Structure 1
Amino acid sequence: MNMVRIAAAAAHFGRDLDFDLARIGKIIEDARGQGAGLLVLPDAALGGYLADLRHPDPEALPPALKPDDPLIFQVARRAAEMTVCFGYCEADGNLRYNAAVCVNGDGVLGRHRKVHLPAGEVAAYMPGDTFDAFDTPVGRVGMLIDYDKTFPEAARSLALGGAHILACLSAWPTSITNRAPRTRQDRQSRLFDLYDQARAAENQVVLASANQTGAMGGMRFLGQSKVVGPGGDILARTFGKAGLAVADIDVAAEVERARRVLHHLDELRFDAYRGSP
């Protein structure tokens, strides 16, 4: 068996980059203390998320970091032997992207720019244009940033690229337009869990979902970080609190077991789907 301990973090991050870096370092040490080989941190772990998703203030956007910013490599050094995925606002000239990077002590293993932007983000970010899986010491990984996982094609593209682990990094709030009195009754809370489980089950992969907690501006983030098996079963979760969802799984063996009889990727019928190549 080749067991991997996967940790998905629920935590709050804001505009103070020094504070964020210290919190990331503390979470890495907590995950290392529990023996994690893969740690997935939330979207916008360096610099925080937008304060207002409906009408983002151009003067209050997260700090934009270049892809080679020293802070990214500080996280990589702290990761050392561990594989760590985290989100930040990426600067490309005058353009900004909601971005994620996967690192270890050797440097950058993979990158992703959020492709699917909800209405408010369009005013702050440019969309990415690709989904790319990449190899890591814990297996082949693909990354999604919050709203990306709403679209089945996004996760499917990564699975077709050979990803056995999907790292989903989110700053996913409760419903902005129809907030429920209790989180468990909230529409966005239900959808967050539904998408995590569906994306894992339909692609027969392991999914590690990390989300922010606390509040930013008028938004309150859900937490609900979790590790999901290739059958859609939740193996570990944080519920609404900050912390780590930690699960041990032999990724290759469990993916193979899930695909032994019904292998969804092999049974696709691309010729029958509208808009397929």
Structure 2
Amino acid sequence: MTRIAACQLAPVPDGLAANAELTADAVREALAQGADVVILPQLVTTGGVLEDAEQARAVAVASGHGVFAAWAAACTARQGSVVVGGFCEAGDDGQLYNSAAVVDATGLRAVYRCAHLWDRERVVFAAGSAPPPVVDTAHGRIGVLVNYDLRFPEWTRTAALAGADLLAVPVAWPAAQPGEGGGPDGQLVAAATARLERVAVACADRSGPGWTAGSCIVSASGQLLAAAGPGRSAAWADVDPEASRDKLVAGSSDLWLDRRPELYDRLTAPRSTSG
């Protein structure tokens, strides 16, 4: 079994140094309590909402930044442990990206750039174009997405087909508006994704005013295993990577073997804005 901690934090707006310390403390605390995989929220190194590129550049970091070295150092305390966390990336191409890093005791394993940008995020960030990485770890194969990516089944299926046992998703879910119903909407999306792909899903959300505080962990069968609740906390659950590798849903019905890709060409057709 793999023990997951989806850590729910309230990063300081524009406080890169403070947030680096906050995240390192959270990782150390989770690992000390027995976590194998620690997930941190979207853009956790920045805090707040980035309104423009100028503000974002002030808190953007490259892949060699010390915050990742601190996460890696924390991982030395627990063999095989892994951290997945969101950050504002200063790309070597001069662009800014809404990214997530995968780190273990050896250092930075992968960086993923969010491909689907939410609302005004596209004013600040360039969209990534590489598929979600699936990283082999001591605790299974971890696929990484960011926030809005979770709402695109083509993208979650891409990670699942690449062999992900767990989808680790740094998120920042805005608080629900009046009339949208009870319960974090994002948790419903996470549960639906898990059930459709037969893969465990873990989302780490922000806490504080304006955020849903909906951190959660869902099993490969779509069962909500844990939810963090309000405030700084964490969702904790044990998941079995093998359960995500079994795509048999009933009798001889197998989600992977029963796929018919020859019928799915419209999924890759150019998007249209017409009716």
TM class, shorter-chain normalised?
A: 0.7 to 0.9
Q: Secondary structure at the match of 1:214?
A: coil
Match of 1:249 in 2: 239
Name which of 230, 233, 248 aligns with 2:220.
230
Residue 71 of structure 1 is matched in structure 2 by 67
Q: How has the CA–CA distance of structure 1 residues 257 and 57 changed in structure 2, closer, same or farther, with 3 Å as cutoff?
A: closer
What does the per-residue CA deviation read over 1:216-264, in whole Å, with 9 as the maximum and x for residues that have no partner? xxxx111111110011001111123321111112221x22456363431
1:88 aligns with 2:102: no
Count, aligned residues: 259
**Residues 276 and 5 (structure 1 numbering): CA distance in 2 closer, same or farther, change over 3 Å?**
same
Rate the CA distance shift 1:214–1:162 in 2: closer, same or farther, 3 A. same
Task: Give the distance between the partners of 1:77 and 1:136, measured in 2 at CA.
Answer: 17
Q: Percent identity?
A: 27
Q: Is the 8 A contact 2:198 2:221 kept in 1?
A: yes
Residues 28 and 78 in structure 1, CA contact (< 8 A), matched pair in contact too: yes
Q: Shift of the alpha carbon at 1:133?
A: 1.3
Could you list the runs of 5+ residues in structure 2 that have no partner in the other structure? Answer: 269-275
- Identify which of 47, 55, 76 aligns with 1:60: 55
Query: Normalized against structure 1, the TM-score is what?
Result: 0.87
Query: In the alignment, which of 7, 10, 24 is matched to residue 9 of structure 1?
Result: 7
1:174 and 1:189 in contact (8 A); partners too: no
Structure 1 Cα separation of the partners of residues 27 and 202 of structure 2: 15
Q: Give the AA of the match of 1:74.
A: A
Query: Which amino acid counterpart does residue 124 of structure 1 have in structure 2?
Result: V
* CA distance in structure 2 between the partners assigned to 1:171 and 1:273 by the alignment: 31
The correspondence for 1:209, drawn from 203, 207, 210, is 203
CA distance in 1, matches of 2:180, 2:68: 34
Q: Which amino acid aligns with 2:11?
A: F
Q: How does 1:87-106 map to 2 (within 5 A)?
A: 87-92=86-91, 93-106=93-106
Kindly state the Cα deviation for residue 49 of structure 1 after the two structures are TM-superposed.
4.6
Shift of 1:77: 1.3
8 Å contact 1:40–1:209 — kept in the other structure? yes
More deviation in 120-129 or 30-39? 30-39
**Cα offsets for 1:113-137 (capped at 9, x unmatched):** 0000123011100000122212112
Distance 2:241 2:95 in 1: 37
